[in-house]
Structures are given as C-alpha cells and as structure tokens.
Structure 1
C-alpha cells in the first residue's frame, strides 16, 4: 500500500493502468471531494483504465491519509498534489477533481498550470459556500461528529431515485464519509472557508471542462457555467444527478471525460515512458 511520507503527515495514493509494453499511456490524476476517499473514483478508473494511467490519492485527513493539525489553506491542498507528482517524478498530468477537489484543480491551474494538461472540474465553484456556513459546519462536527451530518449529506449528494436504485453504492460512500478524520474534515472546511479564486480563474490557460450535476444543491450548474465562461478555454456540461455526479451518472461522466481528454491522449509530455 503506497504512501508519501511528508514532514507531519502522509498521503495514501494508488496508481492503476500500467503501461502495456511500449504503448505508453498518459497520466490522469483524480482528487476527491470533502468527506470522500479515493474510491469515489472507482467507476472512472474502471472505465478509463484502457486509455490512461490513473493516479488518485486520499486528501490529507481522508481515507488512509493522516491528518496534520488543522486549519488548512487551499494552497496547502494544492501543494500536496504537487508534492505527490514530484515524489513520483511525474512531469505532467491531466487532472479531474470534484467539489473541493475541483477547487484544488483551479488552484493548480492558476499556480502550476504547466504541470497540468487538461483540467476537469466537477460539482465545484470558484468559491464554495460562505465562510459563515463553513464555520458553522466545523462547530457542528466538533460538537457531534460526522455521523450527525449523514442525513443531510445523502440529500445533498444523491437524488432519491439513485439511492433507491443503488443503495449499496450510497452506503459505501457514507461509510467513507463517517470514517473521515475529524481534524482532516475540519481542516478542509477551513480551506473552503478561506478559498476564493473568483478574481484569479481568468489566469487558467489550460483547456477546462466544467461538469455540473443538473440537480446539485451545493454547486448548481450556474457555478460551473461561470467557471467555464471565465477561464481562457472553458466549456460546461451538465449531467443528471446531484453533487457526486461522477458516481450518479458514471457512464455519461466517463464518456464526457474521455471525449474531452482524448484529443491530448497522445501528447508525449503527458505520457508514461516505456523502458528500453
């Protein structure tokens, strides 16, 4: 089980889709939402594995990654992603992130765009919520733990119809949610409280796809359309679902991501290199 050891914590990561012989594959990095672990991308890794070598990781304080003391800043989360790329000696990746993962992708596009190929930001915004709402969330979690948030989380993340059709999938996601470190969750809430990229996203020059859930109460389609309109090369796509749209509309999401990334799939600077 691979980990990257950093001075005060460690990041758990996973690589799938090894290069076949000398047919190298481009890298695709996934970044999870608040309260989820790297398994939220299982359907994407399964569907895109033939085309990409995928790198996913548990954000600090999530999944099997440890949690440094909170609070965190959005820049801390972006630098974690860069530290992982540096440690693995990966020069450049396509990037796909959802919610706080999408905000991390925007930060990377602004501050380290040369390390990225194409960027997909999903169910996110250049500013998610208000500082007051995140402070209130942190107070609730400190007092009552994450289990107190499960009912509201299910309602925000999935439509009732999906919960009826796929109860096991929803249960697995919730299990990951309640297993999240309290320090890690609160630290990331602090990053969201202070994370505001609205004045900076015009600097993103990478091709960007903004994917919304058409019934997302957290980051509605208008937030994703705004991102697409303000970056230099953006487009917006809305798919059926709420906040965790990559799970609820997995097949359509995979198809859209493959279509978006396909034009650069053969880019030499973004490929896993074969040994001689």
Structure 2
C-alpha cells in the first residue's frame, strides 16, 4: 500500500500565488519544504509535464529525498522557450481564456477530444480557473529552464514515459533524457498526447506501479 501525496504547485489550484517570475528551483523548493513540514524523508516521485520538470530538479538537487523517479511527458528544456515568455505576456494582458484553445488543443489527441468532450471541457475549466499571474510566472520559469546539465547527476532509478502524439514535449526529448540519466528506462504510450495519464490512465498507472515496486 502507498501513502499518496498530491499537491498544487505555487500559482495553481489552492496554493498561494506569489508574484513572478518563478524558477524551477523555486517550485521544487516548495515541495521540499512541504515534505519537511509533513515529516516525509524520502519519496518515490511521479510527475507529469511541469511536475516532471520539478522531478528532474528534485532528483538532481536533493537526491537523498528521492527513492524512485517517474518522469512523464516532460523535458529538461522547452523546445521553444521564447514561446513561453510570449505566453506569459499574453496571459497577463488578456487572461487565461485567451490561450485556452491553443493550449488545450495540444494536450489531447483529436480522437480523444471527439470521444470525451466532457473530460476535455472539465480540464479546460480547471485551466481557465488558474490564476493568471501564477500561470504567467510559471511560464517564465519554463522560458529560462535548462536542466540538461543536471541529468547525469540523477541517481534514482528512473522511468521516462513519453506519449506518441505529445506536441509539447515530444518523445524525442524523452529518448534524449534516457541517454543522459544513468539508470533510466523509456516507455512510449501509444494513442496519447501531452496529458497521457488522462487519455491512457491504465497504461500509465501500470508502468508507474511496476517501476516504484520493482526490486532494486
């Protein structure tokens, strides 16, 4: 049995929204302080998208806290960092709804969006309810992030999961990560885009559980 801890990053959900810009170190440091407050010394960490990028930071900078690591649909550096700086500016001036179509459209495959419009609508509602400053400040963190030099410092057994149709963090980036992380394995989820855990929850969950329960 597992004790599962889920939390909202700064600027998202019910967490505080400090003024930006943020850095990945800021966001990762928040989690370390949360674990300290809860008295949790060591965890297996599973992160998707921004969560995976925080996982890279944690495993490289606080290796004693990470037992197993799962990085899903993420990358150590964004393909076009300048797009995130522009996105931050737009959200601050025009609000979250101004980018919702473009962002949500990349998160799901067309076939899933057609089959499950209710799920896509629910995710969109969560996205649009995100505080504009929190989202913009996080985009600024992604715009300046480059964790590629940190990958060889990761010592935790690592599973890197990519999604076949992920436009935000394509599978090629995941394959490159696996080459740089000393003890990493790669798995590709077919028929899914960026939110692979929503489109293919059984496949993602099965791989995660296999990884965090496997003998050393």
1: CA distance, partners of 2:80 / 2:110: 26
Matches within 5 A, 1:120-159: 120-159=70-109
Which structure has the bigger radius of gyration?
1
Calculate the TM-score normalised by the size of structure 2: 0.96
After TM superposition, give the deviation of residue 143 of structure 1 in Å.
2.0
1: CA distance, partners of 2:43 / 2:106: 30
- Provide the residue aligned with 1:57 in structure 2: 7
Structure 1 ranges of 4+ moved more than 4 A: none
CA RMSD of aligned residues (A): 1.2
- Provide the residue aligned with 1:246 in structure 2: 197
Decide which moves more: 81-90 or 143-152: 143-152
- Provide the residue aligned with 2:42 in structure 1: 92
Decide which moves more: 148-157 or 177-186: 148-157
2: CA distance, partners of 1:253 / 1:149: 28
Decide which moves more: 253-262 or 162-171: 162-171
Q: How many aligned residue pairs are there?
A: 215
2: CA distance, partners of 1:254 / 1:135: 33
Corresponding residue SS for 2:177: helix
2: CA distance, partners of 1:181 / 1:94: 29
- Structure (1/2) with the larger strand percentage: 1
Render the CA deviation track for 1:89-123: whole Å, top value 9, x for unaligned.
00111001111111110000100011011100111
Give unmatched runs, 5+ long, in structure 1: 1-50, 268-276
Kindly indicate whether the alpha-carbon contact (under 8 Å) linking 2:92 and 2:133 is maintained by their aligned counterparts in 1.
Answer: no
Kindly indicate whether the alpha-carbon contact (under 8 Å) linking 2:42 and 2:66 is maintained by their aligned counterparts in 1.
Answer: yes
Give unmatched runs, 5+ long, in structure 2: none
Partner of residue 167 from structure 2, selected from 217, 221, 232: 217
- Structure (1/2) with the larger helix percentage: 2
Calculate the TM-score normalised by the size of structure 1: 0.76
